[in-house]
Chains A and B, each alone.
Chain A
Amino acid sequence: MAPHIQAPRRSLNALLLAVPLLVAALASPLLTGCASGPSPELYQTFGGQPGLTALVDDFMDGMMRNPDLRPYFVNANRAHIKKELVSQFCAALGGPCAYKGMDMKMAHARYGIGDREFNALVEELQQAMDRRHIPYAAQNRFLAMMAPFRDDMVHPAPPPRARPPLTLSPDAVAVPETVPGKP
C-alpha cells in the first residue's frame, strides 16, 4: 500500500510547497516596487538631495553616539565625510551624482575594522532610515547595493591592533649642524 500512495502524495506536497514559494517570489518584487538596483524612483523615496543630507546628518549623529563607532569619527573631518557619503548614497540610489571620493578600500585600510564595527554601522544606518520613515523594502534595496563594500572595509585579521609607544630617547639621533632651523 505504501509505495504507490507515496508518489502522488509527494508530488502533491511538493506542489503545496511550490505554490507559496512562487507566490512569495512573485509578490516580493511587487512589494518592493518591482525593481532592484538604482533608479530615480528609489532616489526620490529617500527624499532626493535634501532627504539624503538629512539622512546622513542623522546617520553620523547616531554613529557618534555609538561607543563602537565613535572612536573612528571623533577626530575625523566629519563634515567632509558626510558630504562624501551624500554623494556616494546619491550615486548608488540612482540620483544625479557621481561619487568622486576616495576609494573605499584605501579609505579604510588602516583602521582594522571588524565585522562587529561594520554591522554596528549598518544598524545605525538602518535606524537613521527608520527615523526618516523610509520603507523597509526600499531600505533593503539600498543596503543590497551597499553590502559588497563590506569586503573593502572589513579586515578579518587586522594588523597589530595597537602601535607600540613611539618615543625617542634624547640621544637616539644626532641631528647634523646643516639642518635648517636647528636651534
Chain B
Amino acid sequence: MVAQAQDGGGIVGSLWGRLPGIGRGGRVVVCLGVVLGTIGAPAAAATVSRPEDPTFSGKLLATGGVTQVEGAAGGGLTPWAVIGGGGTREEVGATAFFTAIRTHDYGMNAYGALLGLWDRVEVSVAQNRFDTQAIGGALGLGDGYALTDTIAGLKVRVAGDAVYDQDSWMPQVAVGAQYKSNNRASLVKALGARSDDGVDVYASATKILLAQSLLLSGTLRLTKANQTGLLGFGGADDDYHAEWGGSAALLLDRTLVAGIEYRMKPNTLARANPGLAPEDDWYDAFVAWLPGKNLAFTLAYVNLGRVVTPTRQNAIYLSLQAGF
C-alpha cells in the first residue's frame, strides 16, 4: 500500500491493475484529463474534510442540558432525552456536577459525572447524600445521620434530534436505566422497605420548539424507589410503579433557560409504615445559566413535599456543572 501510494498508483493505479483490458487509447487520455483537471482545479475543494484529530465540545451551547439529581443529563429533577456533555455524533464529552439542596430540616448533596459517547450513549455515576440533621437526632438516629444512595446510570438515544428536527413533531427519544444502591440497608428495611437496592427504567421524550423558544420534555419512569431510593425500594408492595415527570422551559437567550419541572413518585413505604408521612411528588421552578460550553449554573426553588415528617420541605437548589 505504502509503495503504491509513493509511486503514485493511488486510485488510477489500482484501476489500471484491475482493468488490464483497457487499451492505451482514448479512454486513458480521458481518464488522465479528469485526473489533471482535479489536481489543477484552483478550489481544490474536494480535499476539504473534517479534522482527523479528535475534537471536543462541538455541540451547540446548552443542548446537552444540565444534570439531574441522579446523575443523568436533563433538568434538575427528571432526565431529558438529550445526551450529556458537549460531544456531537463524531465526538465524546463528559461533565461533572455538584448539587446542593437545602430545606429547613434537611440537606442533600448530589455529585457525580457522566460520559457522553457520540451523542448516542450516556454513562453516569452519582451519589446522593441525604443529611437528616436534627431530625435524625429526634428519630434516635443521631444528629446529622446521613443516608447515601449510589447511582449508576445508562441512557441511549433511540430516535430523533431535539434541536434539529424542526420540520416535524418528532421529539428526541431516549431510554435509560438507573441502578441505585442505598448504604443504610438495615435502617431502610427496618422502616419497611423491601430492599436496599433497585433499578429504575425510564423513557424520555424531549422537544425544542425553536420557533417558540420553548423546550418540552416528558419522562415515564418505572420505579420501586422510595424518595428516589434514599429510603430504599418497595414497601407495601414490591411492584414497579409507572410515574411521570415533565419539564417545560423557555429559552430566554442563548445562555439562559428558565422553567418548571414536576416529578411524580410512588408512595409505597408510608403505606407499609403508618409512622411515616406519605411521600409527595416533587416540583420546582428553575433558572439555568450556561455562560459557555464548559460551565452551567442552576438555581431552583424545589418543593419536596413531605419527607418522613409531616412538614413540607421547600428547598433551595443550587447546581454547578463543568465539562466539555
Q: Which residues of A contact B (CB under 8 A)?
A: 1-3, 5-6, 9-10, 13-14, 16-17, 20-21, 24-25, 27-29, 31-32, 36-37, 68, 71-72, 75-76, 110-117, 119-120, 122-123, 126, 136-137, 140-141, 143-145, 147-148, 150-151, 156, 158, 161-169, 172-176, 179
Q: Does B248 contact A (CB under 8 A)?
A: yes
Interface residues, chain B, CB within 8 Å of chain A? 5, 7-8, 10-13, 16, 24-26, 28-29, 32, 35, 38-39, 42-52, 55, 58-61, 88-91, 119, 163-167, 209-214, 246, 248-254, 259-260, 262, 264, 267, 270-271, 274, 278, 280-281, 283, 285
A33 and B70 alpha carbons, distance in the complex (Å)? 38
Contact A9 B280 (CB under 8 A): yes
Q: Once the chains are docked, how many angstroms separate the CA of A165 from the CA of B46?
A: 13
Can you spell out 8 A-B residue pairs with CB atoms less than 8 angstroms apart? Answer: A27-B250, A31-B250, A110-B46, A115-B89, A123-B60, A145-B166, A148-B164, A176-B24
- Contact A116/B253 with A6-B267, A13-B262, A165-B10 known, Cβ cut-off 8 Å: no
**Inter-chain contact A163/B47, CB cutoff 8 Å:** yes
Q: For the complex, what is the distance from the CA of A28 to the CA of B249, rounded to whole Å?
A: 10
A119 touches B11 (CB 8 A): no
Partner of A28 from the list B10, B47, B212, B280 (CB cut-off 8 Å) is B212
Q: How far is the CA of A137 from the CA of B250 in the complex (A)?
A: 11
Q: Out of B8, B26, B285, which one reaches A168, CB within 8 Å?
A: B8
Partner of A75, one of B45, B91, B214, B267: B45
Contacts of B38 in A (CB 8 A): 166
Given A116-B90, A123-B60, A136-B253, A76 contacting B43 (CB threshold 8 A): yes
What is the CA–CA distance of A1 and B275 in the complex, to the nearest angstrom?
11
Question: How many Å lie between the Cα of A122 and that of B58 in the bound state?
Answer: 11
Q: Which residues of A contact B26 (CB under 8 A)?
A: 176
With contacts A119-B88, A140-B210, A147-B166 known, is A20 near B260, CB below 8 A? Answer: yes
Give the docked Cα–Cα distance between A14 and B55 (Å). Answer: 43
Q: Is the CB of A175 within 8 A of B42?
A: no
The answer to whether A111 and B250 touch across the interface, beta carbons within 8 angstroms, is no
A171 to B191 Cα, complex, angstroms: 88
Given the known inter-chain contacts A13-B283, A28-B213, please indicate yes or no for A156 contacting B8, CB distance below 8 A: no
| Cβ distance A109 to chain B, nearest Cβ, rounded Å | 11
**10 additional contacts (CB under 8 A) given A13-B281, A21-B246, A161-B49:** A5-B278, A13-B283, A72-B48, A114-B90, A115-B119, A123-B60, A145-B166, A161-B50, A174-B24, A175-B32
Q: How far is the CB of B259 from chain A (nearest CB, A)?
A: 7
Give bound CA distance, A103 to B295, whole Å: 38
- Residues of A close to B16: CB separation below 8 A: 172
- Contact between chains at A147 and B267 (CB < 8 Å): no
How near does chain B come to A39, taking the closest CB pair, in angstroms? Answer: 11
Contacts of A176 in B (CB 8 A): 24-26, 29
Taking CB atoms, residues of chain B closer than 8 Å to A13 are 262, 280-281, 283
Q: How far is the CA of A2 from the CA of B51 in the complex (A)?
A: 60
CA distance A31 to B209 in the complex (A): 14
Question: Which listed residue, B10, B248, B267, touches A21 by the CB 8 Å rule?
Answer: B248
Complex A-B, nearest 10 residue pairs according to Cβ-Cβ distance, in ascending order = A116-B58, A36-B211, A115-B88, A167-B8, A144-B210, A144-B211, A147-B166, A148-B167, A17-B262, A2-B278
B50 near A24 with CB under 8 A, answer no
Query: Nearest Cβ distance between residue A128 and chain B, in whole angstroms?
Result: 13
Assembly CA distance A45 to B8 (angstroms) = 56
Of B35, B47, B274, most A-chain CB atoms within 10 Å: B47
The answer for the CA separation of A122 and B13 in the assembled complex, in Å, is: 41
Give the distance to chain A from B61, nearest Cβ to Cβ, in Å. 7
A31-B213 in contact given A21-B260, A24-B259, A115-B90 (Cβ < 8 Å): yes
Q: In angstroms, how far is the closest chain A Cβ from the Cβ of B305?
A: 8
Q: How far is the CB of A91 from chain B (nearest CB, A)?
A: 16
Are B89 and A156 closer than 8 Å at their CB atoms? yes
Assembly CA distance A167 to B12 (angstroms): 9
Q: Given known contacts A140-B213, A173-B24, is B50 in contact with A165 (CB within 8 Å)?
A: no
A24, B249: Cα distance in complex, Å: 8
Chain B hits for A36, CB < 8 A: 211-212
Given A148-B166, A168-B35, CB of A16 within 8 Å of CB of B283: yes
For B88, the chain A residues whose CB sits under 8 A away are: 114-116, 119
